[in-house]
Chains A and B, each alone.
Chain A
C-alpha cells in the first residue's frame, strides 16, 4: 500500500495520516510515514515530539546545504534520516522548509 493524503491547510491531513500509520502499524504492518509538507509537522501527530521532529527537519536541511551526502538507496535514506516513532512507525522528513521558489 502506498497512500498519499492531500487537501487544504488545516483540514486534518497530518492528523489523518498519523492515525492511519499508527493503526496499520498496530495491526502488524511495517509502516513508513513520509512527511512531504514544506512545513513538516507529522512527527507531532505521530507522537515523536517537537524536538525529534525538528531534529529530522534539520537533518533534511543539512542535506540541501551540502553537509551530508544524499542517501544512495531507500533503505539508507530511512535508516539515516528516519526515526522510530510509537508503534514502530518509521518517520522520515522529505521536504525542506525554506524552499526558495524558482526565478
Chain B
C-alpha cells in the first residue's frame, strides 16, 4: 500500500493519516509513515510528542561529476534506500516507522539536500516491503508531482466548506498530471456534521467518497493536548471511521 493524504490545510490529513498508520501497524503490517511538510504535523498524530528524528546527512545527495550524464543531483550510490529508511526514521507507537524531511527550525539551515535525499529514498524504496502512508502538505503544491509521485492511491481529505471543496476540486483535476505514475484518487469526507455534507462533498469534487470521518470533539481535544487521537480517544467516532477506512483499503496491504 502506498497511500498519500492530501487536501486543504486543516482538513484533518495528519490526524487521519497518523491514526490510519497506527491501526495498520496494530494489524501487524510493516508501516512507514512519512511527512513531507516542512511544518510540524504528523508526529503528534502518531503519538510522538518529542521528535528525535536523526538529521538526514547532507552527503546523502551528490552532484554529478563533470562529464557524467543524467540529472545534476542524485542519491549517493553508497546509500541503500531500504537501510536509509531504517536509519533516518524513528519508531513511533505500535512499531510504526516515522520518517520526515528537514523541518524549518529557528537555526538557519539549508534544507534542500536532506529534502531531496528524502524524496530520492522514498521514490526508490522497493515495492512490497513497507506500507507507506504519507501526510502531504496542505494545498496543491506537492500533491501529484514530484513529492507525491511515490503514491499509488491518493486520498483527498475534504471538509464541508467552500474553500476545502474548491481545493478538493483542484486536486481532483490534477489527478492525471503525471501519466507515468497513475493513481487511484478518492475522497475522505472529514469533519462531517450534517446529513447532506457527504453528498455535497461527492458532488463538489466529482469523486467517490470512500470514508466519512465525522466532526468529533474528542479529536479536537486530542489536538489541543498534543496526543494521538488513537491514544486519547480510541473509541471515538472519528477513530472508528478511520478503522473502517483501513478495512476498505485492506486489499492493498503488504503483510
Could you give 24 example pairs across A and B, Cβ below 8 Å? A9-B8, A9-B9, A10-B10, A10-B11, A11-B9, A11-B10, A37-B139, A39-B140, A39-B167, A39-B170, A41-B8, A41-B166, A44-B163, A50-B166, A97-B170, A98-B140, A100-B145, A100-B146, A101-B141, A101-B142, A102-B112, A103-B72, A103-B73, A103-B116
Is B138 located at the chain interface by the 8 A CB criterion? Answer: yes
B interface residues, Cβ below 8 angstroms from A: 8-11, 39, 72-73, 112, 116, 137-142, 145-147, 162-163, 166-167, 170, 174, 177
Closest 5 CB pairs of A and B: A10-B10, A9-B9, A9-B138, A39-B139, A41-B163
Is A45 located at the chain interface by the 8 A CB criterion? Answer: yes
A interface residues, Cβ below 8 angstroms from B: 8-11, 14, 37-39, 41, 44-45, 50, 53-54, 97-103
- Closest chain B residue to A15 by CB distance? B163
- Closest chain B residue to A99 by CB distance? B141
- A98: B residues at CB distance < 8 A: 140-141, 145, 174, 177
- In contact, A44 and B170 (Cβ under 8 angstroms): no
- Closest chain A residue to B204 by CB distance? A50
Give, as a whole number of angstroms, the nearest-CB distance from A43 to chain B. Answer: 9
- Which residue, of B9, B137, B142, B146, has the highest number of chain A Cβ atoms within 10 A? B9
Also in contact, A38 and B141, with CB within 8 A (given A11-B10, A44-B162):
yes
- In contact, A9 and B146 (Cβ under 8 angstroms): no
Also in contact, A101 and B9, with CB within 8 A (given A44-B162, A45-B163):
no
Also in contact, A9 and B137, with CB within 8 A (given A39-B8, A50-B162, A103-B112):
yes
- B162: A residues at CB distance < 8 A: 44, 50
Report the Cα distance A96→B147, complex, angstroms: 17
